[in-house]
Amino acid sequence: MVAWKKVATRCQMGWNRSSLIVALVLLEEGYKAQEAINLIREKRSPAALCNPEFVRFLKKVSETKETLSN
């Protein structure tokens, strides 16, 4: 995991679409889905990634990345 990088993203409320993009970047940096979701909710809002389809998508991407790396 890489610390101290700053990324700015923007959507209407910043809770779903921009949070999804940030989460995907975090997955690329080595975070697991739940770690990325928790970090985003901590830094942005507990309401971030309130779209359950986005959360399922992130978890599936994370699982796929883990499977491919093993």
Q: Which amino acid is at 42?
A: E
8-12, 47-51, 56-60: least confidently modelled range = 8-12
Three-state SS for 55? helix
Cβ density class 18-30: b for 16+ within 10 Å, e for less: bbbebbbebbeee
Q: Is residue 10's pLDDT more than 80?
A: no
Q: Is residue 38's pLDDT more than 90?
A: yes
pTM of the prediction?
0.80
Domain boundaries, the chain: 17-69
